[in-house]
Chain A
Amino acid sequence: AQSVTQPDIHITVSEGASLELRCNYSYGATPYLFWYVQSPGQGLQLLLKYFSGDTLVQGIKGFEAEFKRSQSSFNLRKPSVHWSDAAEYFCANNDYKLSFGAGTTVTVRA
C-alpha cells in the first residue's frame, strides 16, 4: 500500500517569508496526493490535490505543490506566509482509503 511521510514535525517561519513543507510518498502505481490544513480546534480543509497531468498544482490560500516523481516528493509551498497560515499541515494519499502523514506544525513569527 502507498504511504506518505512528512519528515518535518515543526517549522517556524517569519511572516512574509517563503514556506516549503516536505512530503515523500512510497510509490505504487500513480499516486493520488493531497495536502490538507488543520487550524487549531478545527477539522481538516483540503488545500490542493494531484492525480496526473501538470506537476505544479495550485491550491487555495495561495498554496502550490509540485509533484516530482524522480524524488518521490510532493512538497507544499507558499511564497509569502501570513500569520493566519499558522496551522498543522497534512500530506495524504488515497489509494482507495485516505491515509495521512504525521503532520507538520507551522509557527509564524512576527
Chain B
Amino acid sequence: DAGVIQSPRHEVTEMGQEVTLRCKPISGHNSLFWYRQTMMRGLELLIYFNNNVPIDDSGMPEDRFSAKMPNASFSTLKIQPSEPRDSAVYFCASSLRQGQGIEAFFGQGTRLTVV
C-alpha cells in the first residue's frame, strides 16, 4: 500500500487566497484525521471523520477552515481566506476504524506558507 498520500507537499500562497489541501487515506481505512503542526502549538487535531461523516470538528480554529470527505478515498481541507498565521504543516492520517487504541497512519504532510 502506498500509505496516506497528501498533496501538495509544499504550498506558498498570498494572504487572502483560498488554499485546498488534499488527502487520500489508506484503502480500507474508514477514519480520517486532519492535524496542524506548529512550533507554538505542537500537533493539534482539527477534525476527524468516521465513514466519511465529520464526527468532531471542535479543533477547527475558525470558520475560514472547512473540511470535506466526499468519499472513502478522498478528503480536502480548505482555508478561505488564508492568513499568515495559518502557516504550518498540515497532516492527514487514517486508521482502520475509529475507537480506543486504534493507531493512525500519517501522510508526509503539506507545508503551507501564507505570505
B114 at the interface (CB under 8 A from A): no
Tell me if B100 and A94 are in contact (CB < 8 A). Answer: yes
Which of B43, B56, B103 has a CB less than 8 Å from the CB of A97?
B56
Q: Using A90-B43, A97-B56, A103-B43 as known contacts, say yes or no to A44 and B102 having CB atoms under 8 A apart.
A: no
Contacts of B107 in A (CB 8 A): 43
| Residue from A36, A49, A98, A100 having most chain B Cβ neighbours under 10 A | A98
Q: Using A98-B33, A100-B42 as known contacts, say yes or no to A42 and B101 having CB atoms under 8 A apart.
A: no
A101 to B95, CA, bound (A): 19
Tell me if B108 and A43 are in contact (CB < 8 A). Answer: yes
Tell me if B101 and A102 are in contact (CB < 8 A). Answer: no
Contacts of B98 in A (CB 8 A): 96
A48 to chain B: closest residue by CB: B103
Counting contact residues on chain A (CB < 8 A from B), the size range is: 20 to 34
Query: In the complex, which residues 47-83 of chain A have their Cβ closer than 8 Å to any Cβ of chain B?
Result: 49, 51
Contacts of A43 in B (CB 8 A): 4, 91, 106-109
A95 at the interface (CB under 8 A from B): yes
Contacts of B91 in A (CB 8 A): 43-44
B33 to chain A: closest residue by CB: A98
B99 at the interface (CB under 8 A from A): yes
A43 to B45, CA, bound (A): 15
Known A-B contacts: A34-B103, A43-B107. Give 13 more (CB < 8 A): A36-B106, A42-B109, A43-B106, A45-B106, A49-B101, A51-B101, A94-B100, A96-B100, A97-B45, A98-B45, A98-B93, A98-B104, A103-B42
What 7 A-B pairs have minimum CB-CB distances, sorted nearest first? A32-B101, A43-B106, A100-B43, A44-B106, A51-B101, A43-B108, A102-B42
